Each structure stands twice: as structure tokens, then as C-alpha cells.
């Protein structure tokens, strides 16, 4: 691919307006050293030195969109709790519009607490606070009204599905897609739902190798031929313009509607630290690239480069436009 053309796509991210709808999460990291085992049980004792908070789930998608230079509107539900207070504050600090974040009396803010080793830069334990129940009628009505109010002001919509309740109401999913179809708005979906056919007739859907094998009731094999065969079948079933299969931290497979062959994008090998948030980066880069005039192949290539940058970072991370341009300059292909 022409390097100058690729680098020219990224500055066009600026000014793009993106609505991110999905499961909102707060990520808390407890950093410390584990130098001994507990006398109470065969588990390490971690002496915490500091703690860190990050935006997670759909909020990390929004954060990626923002750090790449675009304007973002985030829509979802949090609880009435301390995590929600921190979440809103963190979102505002990074420039995310929070008018679409609504409180719920029926669920806590989804919070993932990770205990991290300072010595090895790796995760020792994770504790989750969450509800995976579908939206109540009042939550559905509130979110629906917000989406309808803002849909005409945005250039792209990202549906970030972590299977925590937001998209368990088919009426919400189909309602959003009908709105974006009528307006021909780019709609990118990161689908973890057990029924991704709900997201048919969108611009792009992403699934992991494991998810697509489960959907096809195939053994959990990782052979490339098997992935390509399943991808072709699922691409036709999804009825979306394109499908991306994320093959671990190794590569992306792109299947485009009415194209005879697929595209394969290896994720650049880097010093691997953490896979957390990689999918968020992929959907963010692809949505912004497609709105900026790139075709699916260019968008997939840029997303694979961005994924490599995020994998080299510890914890839930984002990538900037400057980092992406620099990574392209260093490429030898």
C-alpha cells in the first residue's frame, strides 16, 4: 500500500463526529509487589503501592476515537455509585461528551478491578462488579430518545457490545440500525452477543475467532483454512458490508460483501504487554478510516497497525494519530 496515502488518511479523522453506544465500564488497577504467599491460603499477598483508573468497555472505544482526533458522543448506562462518579469525571477530562450517560437504579456501574504486579507488568487477579440484565423499559426509552436526538449530528456510529445488557433488547439494536440505514451513516459493530445476526445490514461487524467458531458450532481449532471458511459463511449470513475476524493478537481477516477473496492483515509483532482494549482500538480506527474515504482494505490495514501499538501498552490503552503515523513511517512493507 502507498505509505503517503495511508498517512494522509489519518489527519482526516479530525472533525469526524462519532456516536459510541454500548456497555460502559470503569477499569481500576491496583499496582503492587507480591513477594510472599499468604499464611491463610496459597495465594500471593500484594502490597499495593498505587491505584489507577481507566475508561473501559464502550468508554474505551470513545476514548480511542477522541485520542485519534475525532469528536465523540458516548451513550450508555451507569449506576448510582462511586464508580459512576469517577467514570463521568474521567470521561469529561479526556473530552468525551457525557450527556448520553444515564444513571440506573437497577444496576451497578460495571467495574473491573485488576490486581497488577509491578515486578512483571502483568495481571494477577481480576474482580468484576456487573449486571448483565437487559435494560428496563425506562432505561430503553431514555437511551432511545438520546440516540434519536443526536443521530442527525454524527458521521459514524459504533456499537460496542460487551454482552452486559445494552444490546439484549432487539428493539434497541434494530431501531439504531434502521436510523443509520435511512441516513446512510457508517455503522461499525464490535459484537460479543450470542446473536450477532441482530447487527445485520450494518457497515462492518467484528468478531473474534473463538466467537465465530462458537456461532458455527465448530471445534475450537485455530487453523487458518477453518477461519477463512467460517468467515465466508458468516459474512454471507450477516448481510453487512464487511466482516472482520480478530485472530487473537496475531492478525485480522477481512471479508467484504460480494468479493471473492478475503484480506489478511498480520498485527505487527511488538513487545507484548496486554490485550485489553485491542478490539476497541480496531473498531475505532476502522470507523474513522471509512468515514475519511478509505476502503475496507485500507481501514483494515490501519487497524492492524494500531492494534500492534496498543498491544505494546500495559492495561486498557488507546492510540493517537501521531503514534499511528509514526508506526507507518517505520513499516518496511
Contact 164, 23 (CB under 8 A): yes
258 as an active site residue: the answer is no
What's the gap between Cα 46 and its chain centre? 30
Helices (H), the chain: 3-9, 58-67, 82-93, 137-150, 170-183, 209-215, 224-238, 278-291, 296-311, 321-330
Give the three-state DSSP class for 115.
Answer: strand
Name the one residue in this structure whose C-alpha cell is 511488538.
Answer: 270
Distance CA 189, CA 265 (A): 19
The neighbour count for residue 16, using CB atoms within 10 Å, is: 20
Beta carbons of 192 and 163 less than 8 angstroms apart: yes
Q: In what order do the strands lie in the sheet with 24-37?
A: 44-57, 24-37, 110-117, 122-129
Give phi and psi for 271, each to the nearest 5: -70, 105
Cell of 139: 432505561
CA 158/CA 70 separation, integer angstroms: 13
Of the listed 225, 280, 295, 322, which one is catalytic?
A: 280
CB-CB neighbours of 45 under 10 Å = 14
Q: Report, as residue numbers or ranges, the catalytic residues.
A: 280
Amino acid at each position: 500500500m502507498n505509505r503517503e496515502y495511508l498517512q494522509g488518511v489519518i489527519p482526516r479523522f479530525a472533525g469526524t463526529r462519532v456516536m459510541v453506544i454500548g456497555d460502559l465500564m470503569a477499569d481500576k488497577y491496583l499496582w503492587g509487589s507480591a513477594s510472599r504467599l499468604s499464611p491463610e491460603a496459597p495465594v500471593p499477598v500484594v502490597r499495593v503501592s498505587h491505584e489507577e483508573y481507566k475508561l473501559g468497555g464502550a468508554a474505551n472505544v470513545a476514548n480511542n476515537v477522541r485520542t485519534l482526533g475525532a469528536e465523540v458522543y458516548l451513550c450508555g448506562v451507569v449506576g448510582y455509585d462511586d464508580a459512576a462518579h469517577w467514570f463521568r469525571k474521567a470521561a469529561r477530562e479526556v473530552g468525551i461528551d457525557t450527556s448520553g450517560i444515564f444513571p440506573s437504579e437497577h444496576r451497578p456501574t460495571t467495574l473491573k478491578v485488576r490486581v497488577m504486579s509491578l515486578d512483571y507488568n502483568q495481571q494477577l487477579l481480576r474482580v468484576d462488579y456487573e449486571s448483565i440484565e437487559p435494560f428496563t423499559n425506562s432505561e430503553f426509552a431514555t437511551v432511545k430518545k438520546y440516540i434519536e436526538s443526536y443521530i442527525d449530528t454524527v458521521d459514524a456510529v459504533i456499537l460496542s457490545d460487551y454482552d452486559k445488557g445494552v444490546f439484549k433488547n432487539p428493539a434497541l439494536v434494530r431501531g439504531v440500525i434502521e436510523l443509520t440505514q435511512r441516513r446512510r451513516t457508517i455503522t461499525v459493530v464490535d459484537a460479543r452477543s450470542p446473536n450477532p445476526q441482530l447487527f445485520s445490514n450494518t457497515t462492518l461487524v467484528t468478531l473474534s475467532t473463538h466467537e465465530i467458531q462458537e456461532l458455527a458450532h465448530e471445534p475450537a481449532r485455530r487453523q487458518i483454512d477453518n477461519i477463512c471458511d467460517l468467515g465466508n459463511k458468516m459474512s454471507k449470513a450477516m448481510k453487512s458490508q464487511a466482516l472482520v475476524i480478530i485472530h487473537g493478537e496475531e492478525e485480522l481477516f477481512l471479508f467484504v460483501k460480494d468479493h471473492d477473496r478475503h484480506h489478511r492483515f498480520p498485527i505487527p509483532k511488538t513487545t507484548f504487554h496486554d490485550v485489553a482494549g485491542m478490539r476497541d482500538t480496531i473498531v475505532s480506527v476502522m470507523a474513522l478510516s471509512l468515514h475519511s474515504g478509505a476502503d475496507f482494505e485500507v481501514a483494515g490495514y490501519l487497524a492492524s497497525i494500531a492494534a500492534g501499538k496498543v498491544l505494546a501498552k500495559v492495561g486498557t490503552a488507546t492510540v493517537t494519530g501521531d503514534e499511528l503515523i509514526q508506526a507507518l513511517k517505520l513499516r518496511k512493507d
